[in-house]
Chain A
Amino acid sequence: MDLELMLTSLPKLLYASLVTLKLLASSLIVGLILAVFFSIMRISKNRFLFYLSYIFSNLFRGTPLLVQIFIIYYGFGQIEYLRSTIFWVIFKEPFGCAMLALSLNTAAYTSEILRSAFETIKIGYIEAGQSLGLSKGTIFFKIKVPIAIHQSLSAYGNEIILLMKGTALASTVTLMDITGVAKNIISTSFKPIEVFIVAGSIYLCLTFLIQYFIKIAENKFKINV
């Protein structure tokens, strides 16, 4: 066991975890916003919106994340027209491409979580709201949304952990996150086990942190249903 290597690689990997966290946070926010839209489309009565959301979600859940990242990073750069649009700001950087792929991927999974949360709300709660004469907006924001959040929090926590693990794939498009730096150190030092222990521990700490925050959120949104 090479303790010296572990100690010297720790600060490098900790610094790289900033990239991982930045990627995680940004795709989490964008993904959640997209997921809310897609889940509303999924429960809407409009057939077109329903199928649009259905196809989106199955397309992204049926293919590996790595393929999605490669299509966006290597594939979209090929489209000449894209270079002249404002979106090129996102596509020209590996960070933007990885973030876009991760956002869309997590949006597909999260929209399914939200959809099932909305669908399992007992009709009685909505009827109770209607008989109290509450407006449609009030029923949605004061009854449906809190219950849906409560229902989906634990599944969403798992999704955040999956997304965190997914950020490792950004290293395949030259992004220097924890996994990217770890691979670099391994290929120069030929000591995979030591580096794996340090990098793996950082990831595990992140996993535990996410689980801890989800627990807090679950307590906060505790409602007696």
Chain B
Amino acid sequence: MEYLYFGAKGWGDELFFAVLMTIAVSIAAMAIGILFSFIFTPLKLSKFFFLRLIANSYTTFVRGIPELLIIYLFFFGGSASLMFVAKLFGYNGYIEINAFITGAFAIGIISGAYSTEVFRGAVQSLDKGQFEASKVLGLKKPVYFFKIILPQILRLAIPNLNNVWQITLKDTSLISVTGLVEIMRQSYIAAGSTRDPLFFYSLAAVLYLVLTIVSLKFFNKIEKKYKVGY
């Protein structure tokens, strides 16, 4: 148990901050993902074939290619393309983008593809009468969107967004390959220096399990709040 002491002797404080990092990067990725879905959901439901094609390629590509490969693309490609731009301005040094930003962005793009599908499904399962009624009532577009459509979409989307959050939270473990010190990376470091991988990886599993269970409870509460009938 002395592994878990705080301070220089144990790994308690390091693991505590690693958990915070996992939470932070998960929330950032989820937020980026929802932002992406706000762009791509309307495109997916658009009348124009070309816009639909863009949105469909995004979701198909991201959901058909392994997350790890996408992270490698961002990790290696991010700094490479930045260095390319820097070279144009006469800077020839090595540039490394912050691992947090790269990681949150890569996972965010993956999470966004899933969120887009969730919101598309929610919009499509809305009763058509809701759109027509608001038009008949002559409601202005913002009123109609924020007061009629959005609350109903949220009600339908929140249970599925819960799933997206679980996927996103677990996907952040892959960012450890870029060196961002979250739960997985910290366990890797601790396992290497103590030569006790079984203990630290099992502990990592427990930490992830706690995070998923706690967030599940949290989502259930929100679900209840939005679960109002017609």
Contacts and interface: CB of A to CB of B under 8 A. Distances in A.
A78 B200 CA distance: 12
A203 B64 contact: yes
A68 interface: yes
B198 A168 contact: no
B205 A68 contact: yes
Interface stretch (B39-47, B70-78, B221-229): B70-78
A79 B61 CA distance: 41
Contacts of A172: 68, 177
B76 A204 contact: no
Given A64-B208, A203-B69, A75 B64 contact: no
Given A63-B205, A74-B201, A165-B65, A183 B173 contact: no
B66 A168 contact: yes
A134 interface: no
Given A74-B201, A78-B198, A203-B64, A63 B208 contact: yes
A193 interface: yes
A19 B62 CA distance: 22
Interface in B16-75: 60-61, 63-69, 72-73
Contact of B197 (A74, A182, A204): A74
Interface in B183-204: 184, 187-188, 191, 196-198, 201-202, 204
Contacts of A78: 196-198
Given A172-B177, A186-B72, A70 B201 contact: yes
A190 B176 contact: no
A169 interface: yes
Given A67-B208, A79-B198, A193 B66 contact: no
B64 A196 contact: no
Interface of B: 60-61, 63-69, 72-73, 76-77, 80-81, 170-171, 173-174, 176-177, 184, 187-188, 191, 196-198, 201-202, 204-205, 208-209, 212-213
5 A-B pairs with the lowest CB-CB distances in the bound complex, closest first: A168-B66, A75-B198, A207-B64, A74-B197, A64-B173
